Chain A
């Protein structure tokens, strides 16, 4: 029984080693097209960076609050004195 298990283990190990050598033989770095590499590099290095200005929500909130405050103050003033 033990001999069978050892035999199976050895077979698996041998297969793993064979698989590793097969993978290292077949999976090799490939060279991309040089036109592609140069074209992409040119696109990137000549690209203009676009900065999107974000809205200033704080300032908008302050402006609206001030407007509402003075509107309410004016209404109160008109009702009180006119």
Chain B
């Protein structure tokens, strides 16, 4: 709640032309938006480019931000969501996105074989995730990368907590099916 009040004050000042207030908002949310875009695109360069666009757009239109109980972060996620959708549409990369960088491992001293195996498992899971519809990807990222509760996700995705819970279970089932499909596709190669 405190964060909401502080955000509101910062937004008001930023809308009046105080760039430093916008800088504080930026510092508060940039990493979350970057992570969201990174997991949606699977590419660090694109994540940087699109994150910059999100903040440039929000900077230009901060006067239009209308706080109706919806947090500032939800507005930023909405902009990010639209930009990622445009990115997929423009580049027709929806079906296959190559991971340029591997997701960093928790264990920095893995043996090469183990690290390779781990990366392959990561890729398999991320590949399955990226085959899901955009809103399901968003749900998984907000839940696991951002560690948000169903209620918080509901505010961002403009749905009730119950609807998010139900969507979450359907999403897990969809991930399971996609993982199985990938396993079946890769089986003849082995």
A residues sitting closer than 8 Å to B (CB atoms) are 12, 15-16, 19-20, 22-33, 36-37, 40-41, 43-47, 49
| A and B contact pairs by CB, cutoff 8 A, 8 listed | A23-B125, A26-B122, A26-B126, A27-B103, A31-B31, A32-B34, A44-B23, A44-B56
The interface of chain B, by Cβ under 8 A from chain A, is 17, 19-20, 22-23, 26-27, 30-31, 34-35, 38-39, 44, 47-48, 51-52, 55-56, 59, 103-104, 106, 121-122, 125-126, 140-141, 144-146, 169, 172-173, 175-176, 179
With A15-B176, A30-B103, A32-B51 given, is the CB distance from A44 to B59 under 8 Å?
yes
A29 and B22 contacting across the interface, CB-CB below 8 Å: no
B178 to chain A, nearest CB (A): 11
Q: Is the CB of B30 within 8 A of A40?
A: yes
Identify the closest chain B residue to A22 (Cβ): B125
Q: Are A36 and B48 in contact (CB under 8 A)?
A: yes
Cα of A20 to Cα of B143 in the assembled complex, Å: 10
CB <8 Å contact, B52 and A40? yes
